[in-house]
Structure 1
């Protein structure tokens, strides 16, 4: 019950926002992502993830492309700190119809795992510093950047669907919720940014690779404060974990 409340609570908190919305746009997208966590030594590793996200109605062009890298320090096998950089390309949209808008992000994160016989949990807190290029008009970027901070809390849980729990060739049921909050001088109306709720399946290809697929709903408050977007996402992620440490002889 404790685990379920942690997952459900952010959704409950978002519900009043949904109830008072006057203008909510609904769109459908496809998200594909590749994640790699590479461990060099007992203390150090690297993080890479790459994303492609479509626009409305699943296949009408791209909305975003993201490349994120980071350096990871392991405090323990299940507790790690990561800091890095991400480049985000916002493909042509309503207020920049003919050009892409670049965004630069610095990010810092603490991540921890909890493992039990019948459930696996992962949580992280992530802080982002976001520099988004100003837009002059439909065809031209402006000078300078719009800066703000964003903090993200992610709670991920998976439940085995067979007696061979979390073993290669088995599947797990996944429930995941992540809430995003904005702050900074430029943030006036939308301190709440978005909530991402995901439910799907995780297929364990082998001891270090996983294929995750399912449905995600993103409920987002736009910068105006009284406009919202509900995005229905078909999500496909591939997780690749590599350990380069020399194995100790038995």
Structure 2
């Protein structure tokens, strides 16, 4: 009888130990960061059907002004389906500056991308949406100071929703202000994606100042909630976001 009780106790202890290890492994770990994101966007329409896309980004790492986390150079060729809808095919080069798993080196990414973007007006209010597909080739890491050969590959689908409410009775005109709400969801997929099919959500609230007919400045607060590849690790980032936009029509005006 004692032998059976001892065996039962050992079994219960092992079960409790395994449960404890499993619970610890599944414990949600969230890292909190504060960053600044600076961005420049340019969409230039060259002809009735064709245009070019450029956007540049620089992001800090933590405590708003401590080092850099990432920079992006993104270029594209745009086909205008009509005045409200356009398709862009492009390439982006991303530099991930030294991070937790590569503390002494930067990691490069190559990202071909395709996007459908459309605009809608509701009186003086404006809405913009896009779906973007990215093919991410991210350089492999050997250790803290060494890059490995080859690239990891994954797909990313992004949906972006942007809404503008003018604060001026005249609407969106030079030297007028608007309220901006923006949300973007990122979804990962592909053979190398195991735990984080949901990548991140970016929610932004801010103000827009219309500098001229073609240029505007947008600034405000953004929250970025991201799930990392481990599955149980997350980043919750408070971002001070400042973006400058130019939408230039380079077509010859009719006299």
TM-score (norm 2): 0.89
Return the offset for 1:116: 2.1
Alignment deviations for residues 199-232 of structure 1 (CA, whole Å, 9 cap, x no partner)? 0001000111000000000000010001111010
Q: Distance in 1 between matches of 2:184 and 2:49?
A: 27
CA contact (8 A) 1:210 1:240 kept: yes
Match of 2:92 in 1: 86
- Runs of 4+ aligned structure 1 residues displaced above 3 Å come to none
1:95 to 87, 92, 101: 101
CA contact (8 A) 2:124 2:172 kept: no
Match of 2:72 in 1: 66
Q: Distance in 2 between matches of 1:134 and 1:167?
A: 48
CA contact (8 A) 1:21 1:228 kept: no
Say whether 1:158 aligns with 2:164. Answer: yes
Say whether 1:148 aligns with 2:149. Answer: no
2:62 to 49, 53, 56: 56
Matches within 5 A, 1:158-237: 158-237=164-243
Return the offset for 1:151: 0.1
CA contact (8 A) 1:80 1:111 kept: yes
Q: Distance in 2 between matches of 1:229 and 1:144?
A: 27
Say whether 1:26 aligns with 2:25. Answer: no
Match of 1:3 in 2: none
Q: Distance in 1 between matches of 2:250 and 2:169?
A: 30
CA contact (8 A) 1:87 1:105 kept: yes
Return the offset for 1:21: 6.9
Q: How many pairs does the alignment contain?
A: 230
CA contact (8 A) 1:148 1:183 kept: yes
Match of 2:123 in 1: 117
Alignment deviations for residues 13-39 of structure 1 (CA, whole Å, 9 cap, x no partner)? xxxxxxx97211110000000000011
Q: Distance in 2 between matches of 1:178 and 1:202?
A: 18
TM-score (norm 1): 0.91
3-state DSSP of counterpart to 1:76: coil
Structure 1 residues not aligned, in runs of 5+ = 1-19
Q: Distance in 1 between matches of 2:58 and 2:180?
A: 21
| Larger of the two Rg values belongs to structure | 2
Q: Pick which of 115-124 and 180-189 moved more.
A: 115-124
Distance 1:21 1:208, change over 3 A: farther
Q: Distance in 2 between matches of 1:217 and 1:84?
A: 27
Structure 2 residues not aligned, in runs of 5+ = 1-25
